[in-house]
Copies of this chain bind each other. A is one copy, B any other.
Amino acid sequence: MTSPAPVVLAFLDPAYPDGRVADASKPQLLVTDLGVTRGDGVFETMLAVGGTVRKMQAHLDRLAGSAAALDLEIPDQQAWRRVIAAAVARHRLENPPADPAADELVVKLVVTRGVEGAPTPTAWVQATPAGAAGRRQRETGIDVILLDRGYDSDVADRAPWLLLGAKTLSYAVNMAALRHAHKQGADDVIFFSSDGRVLEGPTSTVLLAHVEKSDDGTTVKRLITPQLDSGILAGTSQGALFAAAKAAGWELGYGPLEPRDLMDADAVWLISSVRLLAPVNRIDGKEIGTPALQKELTAELGELFAGIQ
């Protein structure tokens, strides 16, 4: 067994503008914290490359949006930025990256509603080295299965208490869906709605691409993702990649998508902040797209995505 990965942990605390640094290997939370007793809180997972957090503003904005959906008052963005910067700097100082090509830190932001009856949330930043599993899946691709999410694609607007656009700590269903996939020998899941629309992965956004020759002989590349109002999480990675792809001449499209649209695509990916762009090789055992085109498109989009801040 290898030694545990070095962690830097810092709580947001007005008395410590750069964060109250704490030992992550020691208990830091009360058992009565509503984060654990009720999964009542929100989080973000970000990637820092070479010491710089990617898409910081998009993550902070989504954290604020998730908190608003839960009526949760959280520290302001200036406070987060200071603690994040200090935590990343401390991690790199204490654990100088040996391999510049693998200089990646996972930076997690968590806010819980705090201890029952207490007036303040519990909020922290945690920085850990990125694992090898994500990098491997980017390169080899993944097999996914389709699973019913149980909700119809109109419910998010109708029933805001279902918190469908919020990234909450209540991820038990997402974790159960992943276990279900692993038992079947698959790596990941794409959820569909009860009315048959493609939604999202448990921890990622779905993308697909079509490459067509237009009438005048030029090649048209189109990048498509499910529409946001189907109750999915707004993907910070999808948003950033779409902007970069548009600038590079891609056409963009937004659902509704059905499972057969995935089957008919030239390539499908699950995109997320840490694993980045993971090409989908098979869905429910069926091969997707053509390997050569998938590889080419993955390389092109991967380069675009690597270039964003």
Chain A residues proximal to chain B, CB less than 8 Å: 7, 9, 24-41, 43, 69-71, 108, 110, 112, 124, 126, 147-152, 155, 158-163, 166, 168-177, 179-180, 194
> Contacts A28-B30, A30-B25, A37-B43: A168 and B158 contacting too (C-beta < 8 A)?
no
Residues of B within 8 A of A159 (CB): 147-150
Q: How far is the CA of A32 from the CA of B6 in the complex (A)?
A: 13
**A-side interface mostly:** mixed
Q: Are B194 and A152 in contact (CB under 8 A)?
A: yes
Could you pull out 21 A-B pairs where Cβ atoms are within 8 angstroms? A25-B30, A26-B27, A28-B31, A29-B29, A29-B30, A29-B31, A29-B33, A31-B110, A32-B126, A37-B43, A37-B169, A38-B169, A38-B174, A39-B170, A39-B172, A151-B151, A161-B179, A162-B173, A163-B172, A169-B170, A170-B173
Q: Are B24 and A31 in contact (CB under 8 A)?
A: yes
Q: Are B31 and A124 in contact (CB under 8 A)?
A: yes
Q: Are B37 and A110 in contact (CB under 8 A)?
A: yes
Closest residue to A202 on the B side, CB-wise?
B161
Residues of B within 8 A of A29 (CB): 27-31, 33, 36
Q: How many Å from the CB of A93 to the closest CB on chain B? A: 21
Closest residue to A128 on the B side, CB-wise?
B32
